[in-house]
Amino acid sequence: METTLIILKPDAVQRGLMGRIISRFEDKGLQVVGAKLMRITPELAAEHYQSHQGKPFYDGLVQFMTSSPVLVLALRGLGSISVCRKMMGATFGQDAEPGTIRGDFGLSRSFNLIHGSDSPEAAAKELSLFFGANEVLDFERAQAGWIYDMTGGSAE
C-alpha cells in the first residue's frame, strides 16, 4: 500500500468541487487517511514548490496557492500515486481527457484544480510538509476485501 499527497487547490475549493473530487477517489477504492482544510503560507508554498523557484511562473504559482484555502488529503491504496495521477489528467484542463478530474472540471492553463505527488520520494516529503505526527491515520476498512483481491493474503 502506498500513501500519496493530494492538494485540492484554491480554484477547486472556491468552485465547490471538493466533495465531487473526493468522491471520485473514494469510488475508485482509495482510502482517505488524512484531510486538512488549510491556508498555505508563503513559506510553506516556497518549500513545497522549491524545485520551481526561478521559473517564470513561480511567483504567480505561490500567489495563487496562498490566495485561498486548500484541502490537503493523504490517500492510501495499491499504487495510489500512479492511480491518482491518471485520475487527475494532463496538467492543463484544455489538454486533459474527458473522464479525468482536470478534463471534466478545468479549462485554465494556470488554474489546474489539483496537485498530486509524482513519486514515492515526493509523496514522503510532501506528506511530511503538510501533515504532522498522528495526522495520517492507519485503520482497517471493512470493504478492503471487496476492493482488492485478498485471497492470497495480501492486496492484489
**Catalytic amino acids?**
115
Please report which confidence band the pLDDT of residue 139 belongs to, taking 50, 70 and 90 as the band edges: very high
Cβ of 135: how many Cβ atoms within 10 Å?
14
| 74 part of a folded domain | yes
CATH number of the domain to which 31 belongs: 3.30.70.141
| 137 part of a folded domain | no
- Determine the 3-state secondary structure of 88 from DSSP: helix
Mean pLDDT, the chain, rounded, equals 94
This prediction has a pTM of: 0.93
| 155 part of a folded domain | no
Tell me the residue range of the domain where 19 lies: 2-132
Return the C-alpha torsion angle 12, 17, 18, 23, nearest 10: -140
Using the structure block, give the residue that is written with the C-alpha cell 485471497. 151
**Given a cut of 90, is residue 37 above it in pLDDT?**
yes
What domain count does the chain have? 1
Residue 61 makes CB contacts below 8 A (sequence gap 6+) with 45, 49, 52
| 153 part of a folded domain | no
| 72 part of a folded domain | yes
Q: Which of 3-12, 41-50, 139-148 has the lowest mean pLDDT?
A: 139-148
In this predicted structure, what is the pLDDT of residue 137? 96
**Given a cut of 80, is residue 156 above it in pLDDT?**
no
Long-range contacts of 100-107 (CB under 8 A, 24+ apart): 101/21, 101/24, 105/12, 105/15, 105/17, 105/20, 105/21
| 144 part of a folded domain | no
